[in-house]
Amino acid sequence: MTSSSDSADLLRILLSIVLPPLGVFLQEGIGTQFWINLLLTLLGYVPGLVHAIWIVARR
């Protein structure tokens, strides 16, 4: 991995902590994972946060 890739992942994780759907959007775009994350975030912040960090970290 390069330094720019690591810093981009770190930025996505930080944005996921602030607003989970934003981190998923930056990683996956507006697709199925984004809508799942939006629903999870609306149901509760913690499930949306866990899902967002999982999406960003699995790459």
What pLDDT is recorded for position 40?
96
Among left, alpha and beta (phi > 0; psi -120 to 50; other), residue 19 is: beta
Three-class SS of 3-53 = HHHHHHHHHHHHHHHHCHHHHHHHHHCCCHHHHHHHHHHHHCHHHHHHHHH
* pLDDT, tens digit (0-9, with 9 covering 90-100), for 17-59: 999 999 999 999 999 999 999 999 999 999 999 999 999 888 7
Mean pLDDT value of segment 3-28: 88
The residues, ordered by sequence, that sit 6+ positions from 56 with a Cβ below 8 Å of its Cβ are: 9, 12, 13, 16, 23, 24, 27
What pLDDT is recorded for position 2?
65
- Where exactly are the structural domains of the chain? 3-57
What pLDDT is recorded for position 8?
85
